[in-house]
Amino acid sequence: MAADPRFKLLTFTGSGGVGWMLKSKAGKKKVVLELGGNAAAIVHSDADVDYAAERCVLGGFSYAGQSCISVQRIYVHRSIESEFAHQIIERAAALRVGDPLQESTDVGPMISAEAAKRAESWVQEAQQGGARVLVGGDRAGAVLAPTVITGTKPEMRVSCEEVFAPIVVVEPYDNFSDAIAAVNRSTYGLQAGIFTYDSRNIYEACETLEVGAVIVNDAPTFRMDQMPYGGTKDSGARREGLLRIAGNDGAKAHCF
C-alpha cells in the first residue's frame, strides 16, 4: 500500500524500524514520519525551580512515561542541582501508583509486564554502570514506580534510547552551551523544553537545538493540534499540523 502511486502523501506514527521502511517504499510521494524520542529539558540557573520540577514530574510520569515527548532527560545548572533534585524526588515519591480506574491514582501500569520488565532492566543496567537511583526503581507486574536516576553516562540506554517508561535522568551542567550539546548528543530530535528567563539563552536554544520544537518555560511534553509537530534525526521527517499544510515543514526548531 505504501508504494501505491494513487495517493500523494504517506503519514505514519510509530517505531523507527517501520517508519523508515515505509519511507523507502513510498517512491515519489511525500512522507511524514513521527517516530518517537527521548525528550530533554534544560533547567537553567534563573529558572523557577519549584515550577520546573512540577512540570518535569508531570511531563515525565504522566501516562506512565509512555509518550514520545515524555520528559526523559533533565539537564540542571549545577548551582540549583541540589534544590531541583530535592524537589523532583519529593514530588515523584508523593505520586500515587496503582489502578488507573481509581481517581486517586497518578501513575498506572505500563502497556504490559514485559514492557515494565524491559524498563526495569535498563535501570538495573545503569546502576551496574555506576548510576544512582534517587527514588523509585521498584516494579510490581506491569507497574513501575516513578524513577529518578543520576550519575548516568550518555551511552546508557536510559539516556540515549527511548525508555518509554516512568523514568527520568537528572544530570548537572555548568554552561548553557554544555546543556545544548548534551541535548543534541542524542540520535533523536522530537521536542525539548527549556526553563530560563534569559532571552539570549532562549534564542540560542531555538537556533541550535536539533529538535522539531522548543517549548519555552515548560516541559517538552506539550503539543496542540494547531501547532506544527514533528522531529528531526531518528524522530522522523517533516511536520504534522497547519504549518505543514501551508508548506512550511520547519528546517529549524519552532519555539513555543
Q: Give the model confidence (pLDDT) of 96-129 as tens digits.
A: 999 999 999 999 999 999 999 999 999 999 999 9
* Averaged pLDDT of the chain: 94
Question: What's the pLDDT tens digit per position in 40-96?
Answer: 999 999 999 999 999 999 999 999 999 999 999 999 999 999 999 999 999 999 999
In the residue annotation, 206 being an active-site residue is answered as no
The confidence score (pLDDT) of residue 200 equals 97
What nine digits make up the cell of 155? Answer: 551511552
For the chain, domains (ranges, CATH) are 9-34+231-255 (no CATH), 40-216 (3.40.309.10)
pLDDT, residue 250, reads: 52
How far is the C-alpha of 211 from the C-alpha of 53, rounded, in Å? 22
In terms of pLDDT, which residue wins out, 247 or 205?
A: 205
pTM, two decimal places: 0.93
Give tens-digit pLDDT for 206-255: 999 999 999 999 999 999 888 889 999 999 999 887 654 444 455 567 78
Indicate the residue type of 90: E
Give the mean model confidence (pLDDT) for residues 191-217: 97
Per-residue confidence (pLDDT) for residue 241, from 0 to 100: 77
pLDDT at residue 246, rounded to an integer: 43
% of the chain with per-residue pLDDT over 70: 96
pLDDT at 226: 83
Candidate list 34, 162, 171, 210, residue with the active-site label: 34
The reported pLDDT for the residue numbered 249 is: 54
Catalytic choice (56, 68, 162, 206): 68
Give dist(CA 26, CA 191) in Å, integer.
26
Examine the residue annotation and report whether 34 is marked as an active-site residue of this protein: yes
**Alpha carbon distance 87, 52 (integer Å):** 9
